[in-house]
Structure formats: structure tokens, C-alpha cells
Amino acid sequence: MMTLAESLASSERIVFLTGAGVSVPSGIPDYRSKNGLYTGRENPEYLLSATCLRNEPDKFYAFVRDNMYYPDAEPNAIHEKMAEIERRAGKKVTVVTQNIDGLHEKAGSRNVVEFHGSLYRCHCQKCGMTVRSEQYLESDKHENCGGIIRPEVVLYEENLPEEAINGALAAITKADLIVIVGTSFKVSPFCNLTDYRKSGSTVFAVNQELLRLPFQYTMIQDDAVSIFKEL
């Protein structure tokens, strides 16, 4: 059986499926671990719901502003190595990420499907105007029309953008190699993407927590930063 490095070298079409664990080494907390964003909070899913944004926008804004933005965070070895692999001649690489922090793009990855959107794209819900995230962090009220600004992330109760689903499936269905990194791979529909892999594709999972997937794959239960540094 080939190693991850050998599979990356021999594959022409590669998809990385990444989750919160990829950004933890950059200082961005995940959601449900012991020190995660949800720890010690009552009903955190509500605070990130469409209902909260609609009915209690001040509460939604305070939670997002104070707990989710890390504009000074820098890509780590995982982001950087994925971007490097994409730059290699003849490689078609797509990153499909659950993360909303923009670090894959910051590292230089060009072909990124942001499955749950991005904190760094914002717009006014009243007039539709695009708003810089820096402006949103100063106020959620649009200075032009007084409308409520929101980041373009998928909230609880909202549907995924069709563009994100189509982009992810287009990459998955053609991939020779799929590498799952830094995710428990339990959140649907992200965890269902591998159902659409083509016959004969190879799947690796790199994660500190053991994944149990209903198909043949190679599990690397280790620190992803160490694994990617060695590639």
C-alpha cells in the first residue's frame, strides 16, 4: 500500500477535505473540543442561527465579533503544504473546507471551495452592498442605509450555497486521491461528500481522533502539522 506522500506524488487530481482541526495550530479554536468555542456556553447553536440574527441581531453580533474573528492568524504547515502541492505542475488540487477563516487562501491555495462560507465576506442585508470585514468588526449597522450587516457564512437553519455543493461534487467525482484532514467528519452534508467519489479513488484520513468510515481508507492517527511538515 502506498504512503500518503507516494499517493500525492502519483495522483493527478487531489481533493483535501479540511475541518476545524487544520486551523487550531494557527490559534483558532475549534467548536466542540474541551477548549472549543462552544465550551461553557448555553445553547451556542442558537447564537449562530438565522433566528438569532433575525430576532436578536445585537446578541448574534456580539458573539461573532468577540469569539470568531482572528484576523492576525497565519497559515500553518498544513495550509502551506496544501498550497505548495497545488502549485506543482500537472496537479489539479481542490481544497473543500468547512473552515470560515480564509487561511487556505491566505496560504496561496487558489482552488478553494468554502463549504460554509467566509467571515471575511460581508454584506448589508438591507441594501445588499458588500462591506469589508474590518468595517463589520467596528459596527454591524451599515453606515449608508442603517441595515444590519452579516458575514457570508452558513448559519444554523440555513441551506448551503448551491455553488459550494456543486464545486465540491465536481472535484470529488473526478478525484484520484481524497485526503480528509482535521475533522471528525460527522457533520452532514460535508461527511457525505465521499459518497460521490469515483470508483478506484484512494482515501486517506489524517486526524488525531480515530475516524470510522464505511469504506476502504487509510487512517493516519497523528498530529496533522507533523505529517504535513514531513511531506
Domain boundaries, the chain: 1-28+74-116+159-230, 29-69+119-153
The per-residue pLDDT for range 43-70, each reduced to its tens digit, is: 889 999 999 999 999 999 999 999 999 9
Whether 34 shows a pLDDT value over 70: the answer reads no
In the CATH scheme, what architecture does the domain 29-69+119-153 have? Answer: 2-Layer Sandwich (3.30)
Q: Which of 79, 104, 116, 123 is catalytic?
A: 116
Question: Is residue 5 exposed (0-12), middle (13-18) or buried (19+ Cβ within 10 Å)?
Answer: exposed
Percent of the chain exceeding pLDDT 70 equals: 99
Binding residues for Zn(2+): 124, 127, 142, 145
Q: Is 79 a catalytic residue?
A: no
> What confidence tier does 88 reach under pLDDT thresholds 50, 70, 90?
confident
Q: DSSP characters for 67-94? A: HT--TT----HHHHHHHHHHHSTT-EEE
The three three-digit cell numbers of residue 103, written as one number = 487561511
The per-residue pLDDT for range 108-140, each reduced to its tens digit, is: 999 999 999 999 999 999 999 999 999 999 999
Distance CA 8, CA 96 (A): 16
The per-residue pLDDT for range 183-215, each reduced to its tens digit, is: 999 999 999 999 999 999 999 999 999 999 999
Sort residue 159 into left (φ over 0), alpha (ψ -120 to 50) or beta. Answer: beta
Per-chain mean pLDDT for the chain:
95
Q: Which fold has domain 1-28+74-116+159-230?
A: Rossmann fold (3.40.50)
Other C-beta atoms lying within 10 Å of the C-beta of residue 205: 23
Whether 31 shows a pLDDT value over 90: the answer reads no
The pTM is what? 0.94
